[in-house]
Amino acid sequence: MDDDTKLATIDVRAASRRLQGVVRRTPLEPFEVPGGRIELRLKLECTQETNSFKARGAWNQLSQLDESERARGVVATSSGNHGRAVAWAARRAGVPATIFMPKNVYPNKLAACRAEQAEVVLSDTRAESEALCAERVAGGAKLVHPYDAVRTAEGAGTVGLEIGEQWPEVEVVLFPVGGGGLIGGSSMILDEMLGESVQVIGVEPEGSPNLTRALEESRPVVIDPITTKVQGLCPLDVGQLNLALAERFVDGVMTVSDEEIFAAQKTLVRSGLTVEPAGAATLAGLLSDAFPEELLEGRTPADPLRVVCVVSGGNADPEQLASLR
């Protein structure tokens, strides 16, 4: 199936109907930033079921399994949030789940997967986890991909759908980028809803510029070595599906340093939010020199730029979180 055919099958509104009553419609909360030229609202996916947007794609996948797929069980590779979401959705659906994770995963994320009664298989690296997961898929298990799948992208895209409904006057939406499923599905529906009145921009770590490199080379690129310490934003590459979506609907991508991400996390945590580093990437992008200055030209406190930052990832390591308070 070519890219255009795949994109034509993505139905974010249908996914929204499947998710109704299962996942939360998360709030869009005002948040003050210096300067007065920006009116900022935070889309708090850190308050979602399993504390991240990943619950949306996971349930959209699990809710559509046929009986044969349910019997064979599901598998996923994850550094934490996707694994927890798949484990949660699988338990809710009554389907056995196995999650393949690198050993350096936050201990609380590992414990959360096991608390949902999923089998967890640990490996030395993310690449090894991917290989072991592929073996299980070859044996008949159903893969719930964290980002490069139609059902994942359309489930994640419900974040964009909600933003468009909650604040149709928004002009810029910033999404954190790992594998690209969130920004891919969301940019597609925002383009349908709001057209050229909104710009969609991705934010990713300098040490794992997956979407930046993929857009430059017009193909998914394996980042080696990955140098960021921000778990959750460092898959091996972006998927082909999400690259195709980004090429059509994403207006730009910026990279930020780990230091900027951790500083933004501290700002959010001290405001009372429970956010892991990956969840703070968008605020880091907004506050960084990488944010396009031309978007702010002519803006004043009386006519500010209306911006949404998607904050997803509330499964912070307790020790790391405590160090920020």
Tens digit of each residue's pLDDT (9 = 90 or more) over 167-226: 999 999 999 999 999 999 999 999 999 999 999 999 999 999 999 999 999 999 999 899
Query: Is the confidence at residue 4, as pLDDT, over 90?
Result: no
- State yes or no: pLDDT of 317 exceeds 90: no
If you average pLDDT over residues 133-149, what whole number do you get?
95
The pLDDT tens digits for 47-70 are 999 999 999 999 999 999 999 999
CB contact set of 153 (below 8 Å; sequence gap of 6+): 10, 57, 147, 181, 184, 185, 188, 241, 242, 245
Lowest mean pLDDT among 2-6, 58-62, 124-128, 283-287: 2-6
Is the pLDDT assigned to residue 237 strictly greater than 90?
Answer: no
Q: Which residues pair with 176 in a beta bridge?
A: 203
The pLDDT score that the predictor gives to residue 106 is 83
- Going by C-alpha positions, the residue among 182, 185, 157, 153 that lies closest to residue 249 is 185
Domain definitions of the chain by residue range: 3-53+151-322, 55-147
Whole-prediction pTM value?
0.95
Query: Over the stretch 73-82, which tens digit does the pLDDT of each residue have?
Result: 999 998 789 9
Choosing among 1.20.210.10, 3.40.50.1100, 3.90.1010.10, 3.40.50.970, the CATH entry for 55-147 is: 3.40.50.1100
| Residue 42 φ then ψ, to 5° | -100, 125
Domain 3-53+151-322, classified CATH 3.40.50.1100, yes or no: yes
3-53+151-322 and 55-147, same CATH topology: yes
